[in-house]
Amino acid sequence: MTFNFPLRPLRSALGAGLPPIYAALLLGVATLLCPTKARAIDDYKLGPLSMEQADVPKGRVIAHTNFASKVFTNTTRDWWVYVPAQYDAKKPANVMVFQDGHDYIGLKGAWRVPTVFDNLIHRGEMPVTIGIFINPGHQTSRGTLTNAWRASNRSVEYDSLGDRYSRFLIGEILPVVAKDFNLTTNAEGRAICGASSGGICAFTVAWERPDQFRKVLSTIGSFTDLRGGNLYPYLIRKTERKPLRVFLQDGANDLDNAFGNWPLANQMMAASLRYMDYDYKFVFGDGQHTSKHGASIFPETCRWLWRDWKEKGL
């Protein structure tokens, strides 16, 4: 389902062709007639599936530090692995990878992925899935990192087109996790997620390596000209459809700057995925460049991404 909101809904809907005074009057009348209180923009809250439930078994989180990459030389990064309580070493587990891992892993943070996974796996609404949460690299020459959002190599790793990040992920990170855990090699059972630059990064990995990842979750994705990612809507239309399932979220009040307009870029992505008959879903709200909307619908999004896991034997 596609929602198409104009960028400035009130001004364009009411102000078109009307002198300002009438537009203001109209707006006033509309406000008076409106039975509910006007809602602030980007006002999204986490639901019960993002909260810890007493009767739900909890998975464990293993923290890793100082990963040294050969693809992104001279960088360091922290990362985490979430293992659900239902994990059975005899059965290959599905995999979901999160960029900017620090934002997703916390039990009191924006996303609370371990809690959402605990709840959904317990309810049978998604399969047994190991979560891998990776921070962007920070150049060791730049000293200690105090804020993970400021990792110096983030844009290089996430915004760049091409196969470099997928070589790091598939060639360096996954083998380390696979040493300790039985991970599926079925690309249908491997999902990748990110927000903003992490969102385009997730899409790029699946675009480059559909043999490895076939489920994509991008929120407030930067499909703009940070490093050429604005090209994707056109590449999609002129490339044979890849076997991907893509979820996109964005909001009408997302960024509009020198690199592009995020709401328009995401609408372009959605239109291109539709044009090529992709299995995709686009949710467009009124959010800003935050994860509030994305995180609030994250349980529902996971259900959608994994909706046929039983039939597919994942």
Partner 1 sequence: MKRLLLFCTTAALSICSQAQDLAGDLTLHRLLIPGEEWQLVVDKQGFVDAPCAGDDDNFYFSDMRSEQGIFRVTPDGKVEPFVKAKGVSGMKFAPDGRLYCAQGGQKRIIAIDPKTGETSVLATNVQPNDLVVAKNGHVYFTETGKKQVTLLIPKTGEVRAVDIGITAPNGITLSASQGTLAVSDYRGIHVWTFRVEENGDLSAKMPYMTMRTAPDTAASDNRMRAPDYKTASGGDGMATDTRGRFYVATTMGVQVFDPTARECGLLTKPSDKAITSVMLAGPKHEFLYVTAADKIFRRKVQGEGVLFFK
Residues of the shown chain interacting with partner 1 in the complex, contacts defined by CB under 8 A: 2, 155-156, 160-164, 211, 225-228, 231, 237-240, 242, 274-277
Residue 256 CB, shortest distance to partner 1, in Å, is 18
Query: Quick one: DSSP state of residue 242?
Result: P
Could you tell me if 103 and 291 are in contact, meaning their C-beta atoms sit under 8 angstroms apart? yes
Q: How far is the CB of 272 from partner 1 (least distance, A)?
A: 10
Nearest to residue 2, comparing CAs of 302, 272, 293? Answer: 272
Query: Is the Cβ of residue 107 or residue 156 nearer to partner 1 in the bound state?
Result: 156
Q: Are 115 and 107 in contact (CB under 8 A)?
A: yes
Instruction: Name which of 58 and 227 has its Cβ closer to partner 1.
Output: 227
DSSP notation for 15-71? STTS-HHHHHHHHHHHHHH-SSPPPPTT-----GGGS--TTS---EEEEE--PPPSS
**Residue 11 or 237 having the CB closest to partner 1:** 237
Q: Which is nearer to partner 1, 55 or 277 (CB)?
A: 277
CB of 109 to partner 1, least distance (A): 29
Nearer to partner 1, 107 or 161 (CB): 161
Spatial neighbors of 183 by CB under 8 A, at least 6 apart, are 92, 93, 95, 130, 174, 177
Q: Whole-number minimum distance, CB 64 to partner 1, in Å?
A: 25
* Closest distance of CB 151 from partner 1, Å: 14
- In the complex, the smallest distance separating the C-beta of residue 137 from partner 1, rounded to whole angstroms, is 12
Strand partners, 219: 195, 249
Distances in whole angstroms, Cα of residue 167 to Cα of each of 86, 92, 96, 175, 239 = 30, 22, 17, 12, 22
Q: Return the number of the residue (100 or 157) whose C-beta is nearest partner 1.
A: 157
